[in-house]
Amino acid sequence: MTAFTLYTPREGGLQRLHPLTVLALVAFCLVAGLALAGAGAPYAVFLLVVLPLAAWGRVLPNLLGAAWKVALPFAVSVFLIQGLFWTDGTPLAGLGPLSVKREGLIFAAQSTGRILAVVSSFLLLSLTTRPDRLMIALQQAGVPNALTYIILATIQIAPRFQAKAQTVLDAQRARGLETEGGFVRRVRALAPLAVPLVLGSIVDIEERAIALEARAFSRPGPRTTLLTLKDSRTQRIVRWLLVAAMVVAVIAGVLTRLPR
C-alpha cells in the first residue's frame, strides 16, 4: 500500500491488464451484484468472480481483510434491526416481546450480500490499479477531466482520510492528549481529533485544486505522458463483452422482479 492509495504492488495477472479492462471487470461485478435478483446472487458474484480475480491479482488476503472490516459491522446491525423489527413477517423464534422474522432475515442477507459485492469490487479496483494509470486510460478514452478527477478522488478518499486522521492522532498524542482508556476518555478526545481533521481536509481540498491548476488541469487538447499503456484487440473485445453482460444482467434482474 502506498501513500493516499490502497494500491498494492504485485506481479499478478490482473495488474498486467489495461486499466479500462480492470474497470470493466469491476463494473460488471457491481452491476451483477446489485441487479440480479435473489438473496444469493451478490454472494455468488463475490465468491465466483471477485475472489478469483483477487487471487489472480495476488491481493486476496488484503481484499478479504478490508472487506471483512467493512461488511461485518453492517451485517450485524442490519440482521438485528431487520430480523427483529420487520413488520408483518413470519416469526421464526421469539425473543421476549420481539420475534425474528423470516422476511427480515432474507432482506438482511440480501442487503449484506450487496454491500459485500460493492465494497469488494471497489477494493479490487483500488488494490490492483495504479491511480495514475487509470487516470491516463480514462483521459485517452475521451472521458472529461472533471469526471476523471471525480473517479480518482472517490478511490483515494478513504486512504487519504485515514492517513490524515493518523497524522492528527499522532500530533495530539505528542501534545499529551490521552486517546486510550475508558469510554468517557475516548469521547473527550473526540473533539480535539475531529476539529483538526475536518479543517485539515478543507485545506487539503484547496491545495489539491491549486496543484491541479498548476498542472493545467482545465487546459483542453491532447496531453503527453511518460507512462505507456499497453492495450490489445483481445482486451477491447473483452470490455465490450463485459458491457453486454452488464446489460443482460440488468434485463434479467428486471424480468425476474416483474409480477407473474
Task: Indicate whether this model's pTM tops 0.85.
Answer: no
| 176 contacts 220 by C-beta, under 8 angstroms | no
Report pLDDT for 24.
Answer: 94
Burial class (CB in 10 A: 0-12, 13-18, 19+), 139: middle
Q: What is the largest CA-CA distance in the chain?
A: 68
| 116 contacts 67 by C-beta, under 8 angstroms | yes
Instruction: Tell me, yes or no, whether 236 and 203 share the same domain.
Output: no
Q: Which of 161, 58, 72, 165 is nearest to 116 (CA)?
A: 72
Report pLDDT for 1.
Answer: 47
- Chain centroid to Cα 20, Å, comes to 17
Query: Domain total for the chain?
Result: 2
Instruction: Tell me, yes or no, whether 240 and 198 share the same domain.
Output: no
Instruction: Tell me, yes or no, whether 211 and 234 share the same domain.
Output: no
Q: What is the full per-residue pLDDT of the chain (260 aa) written as tens digits?
A: 444 567 778 888 888 899 999 999 999 999 998 888 887 889 999 999 999 999 999 999 989 988 888 888 888 888 888 777 777 767 777 666 667 777 778 888 888 889 999 889 988 998 898 888 888 888 888 888 777 777 777 777 766 666 777 777 777 777 776 666 666 666 666 667 777 777 776 777 667 777 766 766 666 666 677 777 888 999 999 999 999 999 999 998 888 877 76
Residue range of the domain that includes 47: 1-143+230-260
First to last CA, the chain: 50
Instruction: Tell me, yes or no, whether 103 and 203 share the same domain.
Output: no
Instruction: Tell me, yes or no, whether 96 and 181 share the same domain.
Output: no
Strand, helix or coil for residue 158: helix
